[in-house]
Structure 1
Amino acid sequence: MSELQCGCPGCHCEVDPERVFNHVGEAYCSQACAEQHPNGEPCPAADCHCEQSGKVGERDITNNQLDEALEETFPASDPISP
């Protein structure tokens, strides 16, 4: 069985298949990594500091915020165009 690498930029953790966090088709080692550390939450691995990665810090918006914004732009009550 091949090991899964966490999808968080800068994270070097392997994803535990019994405790995987999925987001947009990628596997992550923790909820904090899946959300790209929106409030600087640390990686659960003591020797990993991916929350300090420049790649994560470059984002102005979290994945959850993107998901919420997308949902708000497509309300189910929109009328059908003629």
Structure 2
Amino acid sequence: MSSHPSVQCACPDCTCVIDEHQGIDRNGEIFCSDACADLHPHGTPCPSESCQCESGVRVGESHVTESNLDEALDETFPASDPISP
């Protein structure tokens, strides 16, 4: 039995309850998986077979998370600097 508190996954429709220290922390919220933390990009399913939280995501709906924005900024940073004279 775990001595860590259990928490509900922060994904809005997810039914997963996870160990607080084994979940994925994104911006202070705890998720059960990367799929839930990234709001199910391309319909990526929840890893729990009993949970269907990805079904609440509409096809073609765009989700941009803080981690997606950070990654995009890191990838474009050198190109976004002005050219030195």
TM-score band w.r.t. shorter chain: 0.5 to 0.7
Question: Percent of counterpart pairs with the same letter?
Answer: 47
Q: Which amino acid aligns with 1:8?
A: C
The total of aligned residue pairs comes to 76
Backbone CA RMSD of aligned residues? 2.7
TM-score normalised over the length of structure 1: 0.68
Q: Which residue of 2 aligns with 1:8?
A: 11
- Structure 1 outlier segments of 4+, above 6 Å: none
Q: Which residue of 1 aligns with 2:42?
A: 39
- Structure 2, unmatched stretches of 5+, are none
TM-score normalised over the length of structure 2: 0.66
Q: Which amino acid aligns with 2:20?
A: P
Quick one: distance in 1 between partners of 2:28 and 2:18? Answer: 14
Q: Which amino acid aligns with 1:60?
A: S
